[in-house]
Structure 1
């Protein structure tokens, strides 16, 4: 039997963290005399620290401060952990997918300790089949490594799944594995940008997708 399922990005898709990451990177960069507009940083959120600094600062540069900047981001972002909140309908959406016989898989590139906190915020561990962290992938999105790891850990068939994410990097990563991607605009990326990147459809947030679940692209894998 093939396992059908839904893969979910976490940051900006299920938990309201995108702008906190943007502010943390902005301050971490400024601590090292790198003045990057916050709008540019926001558009890069969804990439891991192995990609985001090259994307923002260019590959042809001195990378000696990269580790310190990434560490500064982690400290600054960590100050918000106890105040993180799920996005509307996050847990209910996961439970609804599980109720329809679908495996629910978190395809996150967060570090292990951060993922533990994010799972507590979502509060739906009883229906989560598998969850990845940064340790499970050599490269972050838009490389498809974390999605492949999620498939491998869960046993979900890539031909029988959908990915839900909030960034163009999510859409691009899914496309590399031939997986349809539903885009959510709650991470701050517009429906037009997500559709242009290849999203099959878009919704405002998890609650909006839940309300339309039986008419969404997810219906194609459980009907």
Structure 2
């Protein structure tokens, strides 16, 4: 068993990847930008500081970034009451907590969106929470994961990073941690493995099943 686990939020624990995609698409459309949803889906997980130049390029009018972010946030908030946990997410968090695993959340999501999503997850017992507000650069920079591990008081090799995007996997690799890629956010197993995921599972439920087996008699270590 890992001593600590760093979880992503959107698309990993809560089923929000496509809601964020839609909210960003509408926000860009209102601002006069035509952006394919496929491009936006691949950008979910980035903080706004990274998403804007990634989607619109460096030639955009940066003065409008704040308005776009506000529009996205307003649109996303209309979905708060309808968001569901991904299969097994609450059980996974609860089980890991009762096993004594140090738990961290590292997410680009903050503010009222974060509070709403923690409510969806029944306010789990988290030892560390870091958001894009705590670092200079959000994903795909590894800063979020690095800070989470530092605040956990653990070494990267003692920690497992769990996320649904290539950004999560690449961040884990950059700091020297192992990673689990989850397919439930819409990224394929092939893409997650190509990015360097140590293991890939369908969703939190299937990951929890594996961890329970690992914690069982005769299997004291996470498989090599």
TM-score scaled by length of structure 1: 0.91
1:213 to 177, 201, 211: 211
Cα 1:221–1:101 change in 2 (3 A) is farther
Superposed displacement of residue 67, structure 1: 1.2
Matched residue SS, 1:104: strand
Return 95-104 or 164-173, whichever deviates more: 95-104
Give the match for residue 202 of structure 1.
200
Give the match for residue 53 of structure 1.
52
Superposed displacement of residue 61, structure 1: 2.8
Cα 1:14–1:66 change in 2 (3 A) is same
Q: Distance in 2 between matches of 1:177 and 1:112?
A: 26
- Residues matched between the structures, number: 218
Give the match for residue 167 of structure 1.
165
Give the match for residue 68 of structure 2.
69
Superposed displacement of residue 80, structure 1: 0.6
Question: 1:101-180 maps to which residues of 2 (within 5 A)?
Answer: 101-125=100-124, 127-180=125-178
Cα 1:221–1:201 change in 2 (3 A) is closer
Matched residue SS, 2:58: coil
Q: Distance in 2 between matches of 1:155 and 1:195?
A: 28
Determine if the alignment matches structure 1 residue 193 to structure 2 residue 194. Answer: no
Question: 1:7-18 maps to which residues of 2 (within 5 A)?
Answer: 7-18=6-17
Extract unaligned runs of 5+ from structure 2. 215-219
Q: Distance in 1 between matches of 2:151 and 2:115?
A: 17
Extract unaligned runs of 5+ from structure 1. none
Structure 1, residues 41-75: CA drift from partner, whole Å, max 9, x if none? 00111101001111111113332221111111111
Give the match for residue 217 of structure 2.
none
Q: Distance in 2 between matches of 1:10 and 1:76?
A: 18
